[in-house]
Structure 1
Amino acid sequence: MKNMKNKIFMSLLLGAMLLTACDDEAPMERSLYPETVYLVGAKDKIITRELNLGYDQDTVYASVAVSGTLPTEKNVIAEVEQIPEAILRYNDRELGTNDVLYQNLPADIYSIPDPAVTVPAGEPYGTLPIYIEPATLHVDSLYMIALKLKSTSDFALTKTDTVVLMKFNIVNDYSGLYYMDAIIKDVANPSDSVTYKTSRNLQAVRDGRTVRMYHMQNEWSKGATDYRPNYCFNITVNDDNTVSLSTWDKFKILGYEGVYHPDIRVYELWYKFEENGVTKTCRGFLYKERKTDDEQRIINDWMDEHRKYD
């Protein structure tokens, strides 16, 4: 009888150990929470994509993902739909009367050939290509498209953060944050000079080689003084890296010369202009933002070596 009790006790103990071992392994064998299908970036509401004016057609991507602690064992196919009314809601809720409002990307310049996105088995996400022809987009307008998941072949669609707003920055190879390092002089009185050192955001316009720059003034925002007609001009990099300047609207350019140095991303500029009836010149450099102190030191030394004076 005693031996029988010992055997029963050992059997129960062994069974308990096996059950414990099974419980310990269970989290590794199944997802810790239910899988859901969602649009990447929807939690933050807005994602940003760049459109390069240098391309006849540019491609941007939205992404669909499956949440979970384990890789999926089969393909998941989700269908994406557009909901332009979400852009109107964003404008109403988030922007004020002095803000430039977002508009839906013009329907005739973009396409989504297949709204079905496949998240391959074992992969964290799949992508939705969107093809856009950016040539007609205006530099001072704001554009978006609004996307939402419509259906999924497996798992459930997320119930929160269901919409992603994709906004666009218009760029080309010459746009971005630059710094002006120049001298402005009165032609009639050259001793009357002004040091012109400030940041300039060169905005892509027209094509892949042209940018717009504000002369002296700050960038325009709705509700503020509009400096664009009288203080903006275009800089175009030609095939031989010389540059051409042209007025954006009414800025009076009387003459110019210049060259773009692609290896160091610097415009070397001289231009003559008229401001309030006074003829002036501007000579100096317009260089791309540097990320480190060493990079800044190198470009400072280069400008000191190549600086010219009128």
Structure 2
Amino acid sequence: MKISLPIFITCILAVSIAGCNTDSIYQDEQYKTLVYLLSGSENVFATSYTLNEEEPVRYVSVGCGGSNSNEQEITVTLEPNPAMLDEFNSLNYNYQSEYAKLLPADRYEIESYTVTLPASSDYHYVRMPVKVRPLGLSPDSIYFIPLKIKSVSRYDVNEDKSDVLFRVAIENDYAEQLVPTYYAKSGTMTNPITVLSGTKLVQPLEKDKVRMFIGNETYGNTTTVADIERLSVVVQILEDNTLVVTPYGDSMEVEMLDNVNGYNRYVPELLQGTTRQRVFYLNYRFRLKKSDGTFNVWREVEERLIRIED
């Protein structure tokens, strides 16, 4: 069967046009400008606020993606999105007591929920300031500010990155919440004599205060609020780096001791060979309250804690 030349040429042109259309669609998708909120897995963006300041500032990042930079200025407005936190909790936790918490409104300030991405900028994002008052936040709780894109002046929104769970964690010079801080412990306790070894979780409370368990008690998945209040002490670092140990809850009494020369102090830069270590030296005694209101015997503690660095 013979095919006429005109029909053959028409077929070739049709295939070529179809291919061009496909390429055009692919390029449009590839170079398309999409507005998004910067986040990681499950659209969480975690940041740490220092307890050294009353109202530190961190940022939510609003970006635009695509191979081409945005040729026009983009105005983006965000708004709170509490439903996002509800969904996150239902997917990640079995019990309400484990739920992440909405950061109370009186704990943070966002002066403006609207930001502007300049046209043809070398930077494909802009930052929205979030001021937080971290003093009093618990190291045992996970706090979020859930946000979503309310509107954009032009271009489309990346629907997969249209919202963010902005996590607020706390830190000071001695411990962090976001990346748990551990110290290597060594020492002894009396009544009965106990060797202290292993690692100890140290958590930030205030600018100059941290919390830790007594002795060899450990923090785990089954640890309750009652356990924390009963078995924890607060260590305060004074301006001269001397230390004061006090009970965290009301189920313990604590008294400072001076049995070991040079203890009850914090050394921020102990030189060991070629490395510098951050070390707590603790000497105190404690006794725990029994269910009838009386106290157990005093237990004396001599403990050295060396921060485990990354």
2:87 is the counterpart of 1:89: yes
Maintained 8 Å contact 1:54/1:208:
yes
1:77 to 56, 75, 90: 75
Maintained 8 Å contact 2:33/2:69:
no
Q: Measure, in 1, the Cα distance between the counterparts of 2:164 and 2:155.
A: 20
Question: CA separation of 1:197/1:150 partners in 2, compared to 1, >3 Å: closer, same or farther?
Answer: same
Maintained 8 Å contact 1:258/1:269:
yes
TM superposition shift of 1:42:
6.0
TM superposition shift of 1:241:
0.6
Q: Measure, in 2, the Cα distance between the counterparts of 1:56 and 1:225.
A: 27
Partner of 1:198: 198
Paired residues, number: 260
1:273 to 286, 290, 306: 286
SS of the residue aligned with 2:174?
coil
Maintained 8 Å contact 2:208/2:237:
yes
Q: Measure, in 2, the Cα distance between the counterparts of 1:31 and 1:88.
A: 33
Q: Measure, in 2, the Cα distance between the counterparts of 1:32 and 1:231.
A: 57
TM superposition shift of 1:31:
8.0
Partner of 2:59: 61
TM superposition shift of 1:54:
2.0
Partner of 1:231: 231
Letter of the aligned partner of 1:213 in structure 2? M
Maintained 8 Å contact 1:186/1:278:
no
Which sits farther off after the overlay, 44-53 or 214-223?
214-223
Normalization by structure 1: what TM-score?
Answer: 0.76
TM superposition shift of 1:220:
5.5
1:103 to 97, 101, 104: 101
Q: Measure, in 2, the Cα distance between the counterparts of 1:243 and 1:60.
A: 31
Residue-by-residue CA offset, 1:127-152 (whole Å, 9 max, x unaligned): 11111111232333321111111111
Q: Measure, in 2, the Cα distance between the counterparts of 1:222 and 1:152.
A: 45
Counterparts in 2 of 1:10-25, with a 5 A limit?
A: none
Partner of 2:207: 208
Q: In percent, how many aligned pairs have the same letter?
A: 23
Q: 5+ unaligned residues in a row in structure 1: which ranges?
A: 1-25, 292-310
Question: CA separation of 1:130/1:165 partners in 2, compared to 1, >3 Å: closer, same or farther?
Answer: same
Please list every run of at least 4 consecutive aligned residues from structure 1 whose deviation after the TM superposition is greater than 4 angstroms.
Answer: 220-225
Question: CA separation of 1:278/1:183 partners in 2, compared to 1, >3 Å: closer, same or farther?
Answer: farther
Maintained 8 Å contact 2:185/2:200:
no
TM superposition shift of 1:100:
1.7
Q: Measure, in 2, the Cα distance between the counterparts of 1:84 and 1:30.
A: 34
Which sits farther off after the overlay, 241-250 or 221-230?
221-230
Q: Measure, in 1, the Cα distance between the counterparts of 2:210 and 2:124.
A: 39
Q: Measure, in 2, the Cα distance between the counterparts of 1:194 and 1:180.
A: 16
Maintained 8 Å contact 2:61/2:125:
yes
